[in-house]
Amino acid sequence: MELRSLYYFVRIAELGSITRAAAHLQIAQPALTRHVQRLESELDAALFTRANRGVRLTEAGQKLFDSAQRILRDVERAGDEIRAHKAHPSGKIILGVTPPLCPVVVPELFARMRAQYPLVELKVLHAGTARLEEFIVAGLVDLALMTMISRSRLITLARLAEEEMVLATRPGARPPGPVAVEELNRTPLILGDGMRAALEVLLAGRGVTLRVDTELDDHETIRLMVQQGVGASVLPHSSLYRECARGLVEAHRITAAGVFRSLALGVAASRAPSAAREAVAEVVGAVVTEIEAAGRFRTQPPTAEPRGRAPLRRQARVEA
C-alpha cells in the first residue's frame, strides 16, 4: 500500500468526486482511478459507491479514510520533526583537538556554538594527533581537529588549512631570515614526543636531523621556556602569534620555502553523520578559515586566497 495511493484516496473522499480530485491534484482521471482500483484489490473491498455527481465512501472506505488520515498526519509530522532537528541540531558531541590548537580555536568555537547551536552540548578533549586517531577509531570522540598525517583507511579527513611550522626563539637569539637546514641541525631544541614525530614526517627527505636536548610534552611550558631564553623549539605559528606580536618571541621560517602542516577534521569512516556533528564541523571550519585569512597560520601572507572547508574524504597517504 503506497503512501501516494492513500493520499489520492483521501483527496477523493474529501472532495467527493474523482473528477474534482483529478483536477485538484493535476493528474489524469484514469491514473487516479487506477490507484483506487489498486487499493481495492489489495484490501479486497470496495471503497467508494457512486452517488449523485460523485462518489461516497463505503463502510470499508470510511475505515480506511480514518486510518489513512492518521497515517498521513504522522508522516507529515515526522518530516517536520526531522527538518526541525536539522535546523536546530541537538545532542552531545565530543571534539578532539591537538594541544597547540586548543587556545587558538576553542574559545571562539564555544562562543559561536552557543550563539548558533545552543542545543548542541560540546565537549573538547585534547591530545596529540596519534592519540586522536585512536580515539576516532574507538569512538571516544565524534570528530577531531588535528594534523593531516593519518595513513588509516578507518579515518576520513577534510583538509581545512595549511599552517607553518617555525623555529621559535627569544628575540635577538639569531639574525633575521630563514633558518637553513644546517642551522636547524645544530640548534638544540625543546620538543615533546608528539611534535617530534610529526616534524619527522614533515621534514622527511630534507636532510634534517632534529637535535632534541630537552624532551617536554607540555606545549605551554615549552612556549614559556622559549620566551625566557631557556632554549628554542619548532612550533606551529598560530600558537606563537600573540607572543610574536608583543615582541616576546620570534618565529623564523624554516628554509626559504617554509615547512607547513595540513590541518584537517577527522571522523571515523564507518560512522554515519549526525546533524549535531555536522554543526560542529561547520563552525570549526569557519573559525579555522578566518584564522587562516587573518594570517595567523604563517610568517608571511599567503600567495593565494585561503581555501574553505573541503568535503570530508578518505585519506590514505601522508600529507606534508
Task: Kindly tell me the burial class for residue 11, based on how many C-beta atoms sit within 10 Å of its own C-beta (0-12, 13-18, 19 or more).
Answer: middle
Rounded Cα distance between 166 and 250, Å, is: 9
Question: Is the pLDDT assigned to residue 317 strictly greater than 50?
Answer: no
| Percent of the chain clearing pLDDT 90 (strictly above) | 68
Are the CB atoms for 64 and 9 separated by under 8 Å? yes
Are the CB atoms for 45 and 36 separated by under 8 Å? no
Are the CB atoms for 71 and 4 separated by under 8 Å? no
Q: What are phi and psi of 202, to 5 degrees?
A: -65, -35
Reported as a single tens digit per residue, the pLDDT across 170-215 is 999 999 899 999 999 999 999 988 888 888 888 888 888 999 999 9
Reported as a single tens digit per residue, the pLDDT across 209-246 is 999 999 988 888 999 999 999 999 999 999 999 999 99
What topology is assigned to 3-87 in CATH? Arc Repressor Mutant, subunit A (1.10.10)
**Where exactly are the structural domains of the chain?**
3-87, 91-314
Are the CB atoms for 145 and 265 separated by under 8 Å? yes
**Pairing mode, if any, of strands 233-236 and 155-169?**
antiparallel
Q: pTM for the full model?
A: 0.68
Reported as a single tens digit per residue, the pLDDT across 241-292 is 999 999 999 999 999 999 999 999 999 998 888 889 999 999 999 999 999 9
CATH class given for the domain over 91-314:
alpha beta
57 CB-near residues (< 8 Å, 6+ apart): 13, 47, 48, 65
Rounded Cα distance between 225 and 192, Å, is: 13
Determine the 3-state secondary structure of 31 from DSSP: helix
